[in-house]
Amino acid sequence: MRTRFSRLSLLTKILLSTSVALTVLFAITGQIVLGHITQTMWDSLHDEVQNSFQAYSSLLQSRVDLLSKVSLLLSTMPEVRTAFSTGDKATIEDTASELWSRIYDFNPVLLVTDARGKVIASLGGVTTFPLDRSLEVVKQAAIRFPEQSTGFFLQGDDLYQISVTPLYVDSTHGQALQNVLVAGYRVDALVAQQLKQRTNSEFLVRTPSAVIASTLNPRATAVVLVNIRKTRASEPVGDGVIAYARLDTPLLDIAGKQVGEICILRSFEGPRRRIASLYTEIVLLWAAAVVVGLGLTYLLARRIVEPVKQLDRAAAEVARQNYTIEVEVTGEDEMGRLARTFNNMCASIRQAREDLIRQERISTIGRLSGSIVHDLRNPLAAIYGGAEMLVDADLPPAHVKRLAGNIYRASRRIQELLQDLLNVSRGKSRAPEICRLREVASAACESLAATAEAQGVTVSLSIPAEIELPLERSRMERAFVNLVGNALEAMPDGGAVEISAQMDGGSVVVQVQDNGPGIAPEIRSSLFQPFVSAGKRNGLGLGLALTRQTVLEHGGDMWVESEPGRGARFQFRLPGAQVAQPQSLHA
């Protein structure tokens, strides 16, 4: 058997394998699909029953809500309250009938009773409520007064959905119950038909002693009623011909006692017919798919193999990042278009790589030049300003010495910047060292002391001397220079800058606060983005972006608080802080 199979041509082997695979695949798939669709239909049927319940609840609730709202409106209208106080039937009916007559969709009834529940007047449709004695429903609702109450009420063989609204008046002893408004409508066959029209489900409304309304014919109603009594709640029932999915819902009176039940019934016949039709369609589809699959396999097998091999070899070259590879376009069919698309893709990748490399070079140069210009600006300004004062002014020796020191430190800072740049170009980075935070901040303040003095700005430092942590000293010093420099630029006419820090667990929180004009709300959200320089007279808008990047690369975070006219407070947190031992402070 194995020898005979090996003698068959490759195309024959493909056809035999395809036929067997299609047969098995469609047999399994058909069973799975049919099972899933059957389950989906049953689930859909139960969902339809639930939707019918929602529609039923919505309709009845909307009606009773309308009755409650109108009753409440009547109870608050001065002319109606005056009419009710007379106790005269004709006066009450004449006064309230105009508003009540507007509720015409379901012919509701309104009973006006005294405080004991005796009917004084009746408006609207025909009612079977006793008009010569106190209403029991008023007594049930009285325990909830002054709140409105809703529910169902069974009067003989008639079922009503009602709303009970108390009407209070002012008296010498406070609020006194004057009247009670009982509004409702009769749940009958018309209501059941309206529910059926909305949901396409059957409805059966019953009480312990009788069927109130049913959308089924009398024979089906009788059979279904017997089967309902024999089965548990929500189990399917039938009328001898049609089976139904079922959902039972109790009808409760105002006191919460069940007075009836509504059964929602959804026929199984539609899903059963659809399942049978679907089964036939699946069998026919399977047969057609086998025939078509074998035919397509025979026609396409030889045409597909060679182009696929070419694409496979080309894809392997692309995986080795050889994007100059091209495949031969042998036609205008799918394989030809695929080959052309593959060639276009390789060309696009080549072009995209070239563009990406070019853009990365431009972007790198731009970022690097912007950072260099920004970091060199402050030291060069210090050198220029100090040199200018030395040339143009006759200064005392102490002042000259201080200026020379500033020029020296600015020159050292430029040298450190250039060394950092050289390290970056060689792939090196400066390792963090344990630094005292106060010394770093103090060095930054000294470099800006001349500018602060010229502008009349006082810079105070409130950092405990014992706080130390691992830092790239030059970068963190530039961060302080950027923050203090921004504050000085915001206060050309004088002010105050305070730098403070405090320990918070294993980290330190640093604050740089000024009493300048604050930060404009429109730029606050983008303040730490590069080139945001709104309101600045000088600079590229890189200082805060570089400062935050320095803080982030030290494992910290940075944020700002500001109100217009009340200055700005920049804060950042640095981890790894510790308190130095007393002997190290004097080292």
Q: How long a stretch of residues is the chain?
A: 587
Q: What is the CATH number of the domain that holds 138?
A: 3.30.450.20
HEC secondary structure over 372-394:
HHHHHHHHHHHHHHHHHHHHHCC
pLDDT at 424 over 60: no
Q: What is the CATH number of the domain that holds 449?
A: 3.30.565.10
327-354 pLDDT, tens digit per residue, is: 878 777 777 788 888 888 888 888 887 7
Q: Determine which of 223-227, 328-332, 553-557, 572-576 has the lowest per-residue pLDDT on average.
A: 328-332
pLDDT of residue 586: 46
Does residue 457 sit in the same domain as residue 577? yes
pLDDT of residue 430: 67
Does residue 423 sit in the same domain as residue 441? no
User: Last residue of some domain: 187, 218, 248?
Assistant: 187
User: Last residue of some domain: 379, 398, 429?
Assistant: 429
Q: Which amino acid is at 42?
A: W
Does residue 171 sit in the same domain as residue 199? no
Does residue 574 sit in the same domain as residue 447? yes
What's the token pair of residue 365? 């140069």
pLDDT of residue 70: 81
Per-state percent for the chain, helix, strand, coil, to nearest 5: 55, 20, 25
pLDDT of residue 587: 46
How do 557-562 and 119-124 pair as beta strands? unpaired
**Kind and range of the H or E run holding 212:** strand 211-214
Tell me which DSSP letter residue 431 carries. Answer: P
pLDDT at 26 over 90: no
167-201 pLDDT, tens digit per residue, is: 888 777 778 888 888 888 888 888 888 888 888 88
pLDDT of residue 464: 92
Does residue 568 sit in the same domain as residue 483? yes
49-104 pLDDT, tens digit per residue, is: 777 778 778 878 888 888 888 888 877 888 777 777 777 777 777 777 776 776 65
User: Last residue of some domain: 429, 450, 479?
Assistant: 429
**Kind and range of the H or E run holding 356:** helix 334-392
Does residue 205 sit in the same domain as residue 169? no
Confidence of residue 138 (pLDDT cuts 50, 70, 90): confident
Does residue 84 sit in the same domain as residue 180? yes
How do 457-462 and 495-504 pair as beta strands? parallel
Backbone angles phi, psi at 339, to 5 degrees: -65, -45
Of 551 and 539, the structure prediction assigns the larger pLDDT to 551
What's the token pair of residue 278? 């679907």
pLDDT of residue 536: 55
Residue 273 lies in a domain: no
Q: What is the domain count for the chain?
A: 4
Q: Determine which of 32-36, 197-201, 451-455 has the lowest per-residue pLDDT on average.
A: 32-36
| Structural domain of 494 | 433-585
Backbone angles phi, psi at 153, to 5 degrees: -140, 130
Does residue 470 sit in the same domain as residue 567? yes
Residue 33 lies in a domain: no
Residue 2 lies in a domain: no
Residue 60 lies in a domain: no
